[in-house]
A and B are shown apart, each in its own frame.
Chain A
């Protein structure tokens, strides 16, 4: 939304201008026939960041490389690989950046502490503002 908001997706522009003419990889835009496996694959794809786009997951990108990654993920899920294993494999190649799902990396721990910190700060501000017990 967007500040001048939602003036959109420039990001779509560069890849589309110089994009391979080759048809998409087999499973780029084709679902796995087993719905349970497709759900697994889809959940993973939604948390993998597209490399040639600015700020999109590979699940909603038109870039051809995102299509190739979708295809690869579906094929590996069909071959029985676990989504988290694929994520680790991708992180070994592209670093934590590639995963929207926060990894266990200590550098991300403060993100999980943030809600507690903020609620704690709020309660500190509230101290003494609310009577403990309703007076009768």
Chain B
């Protein structure tokens, strides 16, 4: 018994050591993913965020074919970096809607004029309430919404050029 107890600290330390090592080896994953993936979109109605695009309602996203819902903001730097990829997706035939977080119409107009406008509809979420309801934890994020208005996929962070084939595949899979 005493023998066992004497070696117990070393055994416990070995356990902690393995835990630390696994923590170091694992790629740094600070991403909080939405638990709403696979569920139907929450109900929302948002006012228009830009002068030349209509407002956004949740049921308008269930159009029978998959769409991309982009969460962005004019004050967010990675969102500007993401703009060319969204335009490329648009050119590939993807229909994209957007929710602008904590934004003002003039700022969104200026942002779109500068970085391009791939969006069909843009809703303004002035107090992040739809963002929270979606389980989104920051900007930018993109959701693939299937034809029935179900959230099929969530992409956290900006879409990079090499993410495009994967996003297209996700849209295809959501068919």
Do chains A and B interact in one complex? yes
A69 to B137, CA, bound (A): 11
Are B36 and A92 in contact (CB-based, < 8 A)?
yes
Are B138 and A97 in contact (CB-based, < 8 A)?
no
A20 CB contacts on chain B under 8 angstroms: 73, 75, 101-103
Are B102 and A68 in contact (CB-based, < 8 A)?
yes
Q: Which of B32, B104, B131 contacts A22 (CB 8 A)?
A: B104
Interface check A5, CB cutoff 8 A: no
A49 to B107, CA, bound (A): 30
Q: Give B120 Cβ to nearest chain A Cβ, in Å.
A: 24
Interface residues of B in 116-140 (CB under 8 A from A): 126-129, 131-135, 137-138
Interface check B3, CB cutoff 8 A: no
Are B36 and A51 in contact (CB-based, < 8 A)?
no
A97 CB contacts on chain B under 8 angstroms: 32
B75 CB contacts on chain A under 8 angstroms: 18-21
Interface string of A53-78 (1 = CB under 8 A from B): 00000000000110011011000000
Contact residues of B with A, CB < 8 Å?
A: 5, 32-36, 73, 75-77, 101-104, 107, 126-129, 131-135, 137-138
A32 CB contacts on chain B under 8 angstroms: none
Q: Give A35 Cβ to nearest chain B Cβ, in Å.
A: 24
Tally of A-B Cβ pairs under 8 angstroms: 65
A74 to B131, CA, bound (A): 17
Are B34 and A94 in contact (CB-based, < 8 A)?
yes
A52 CB contacts on chain B under 8 angstroms: 137-138
Are B127 and A51 in contact (CB-based, < 8 A)?
no
Identify the interface centre among B128, B129, B133: most chain A CB within 10 Å of its CB: B128
A69 CB contacts on chain B under 8 angstroms: 128, 132
Contact residues of A with B, CB < 8 Å?
A: 18-22, 25, 51-52, 64-65, 68-69, 71-72, 90-95, 97-98, 124-125
A72 CB contacts on chain B under 8 angstroms: 127, 129, 132
B137 CB contacts on chain A under 8 angstroms: 51-52, 65, 94
A97 to B73, CA, bound (A): 25
B104 CB contacts on chain A under 8 angstroms: 21-22
Q: Give A117 Cβ to nearest chain B Cβ, in Å.
A: 12
Nearest residue in A to B127 (C-beta to C-beta)? A25
Q: Give B136 Cβ to nearest chain A Cβ, in Å.
A: 9
Are B132 and A93 in contact (CB-based, < 8 A)?
yes
Q: Give B76 Cβ to nearest chain A Cβ, in Å.
A: 6
A71 CB contacts on chain B under 8 angstroms: 127
Are B32 and A94 in contact (CB-based, < 8 A)?
yes
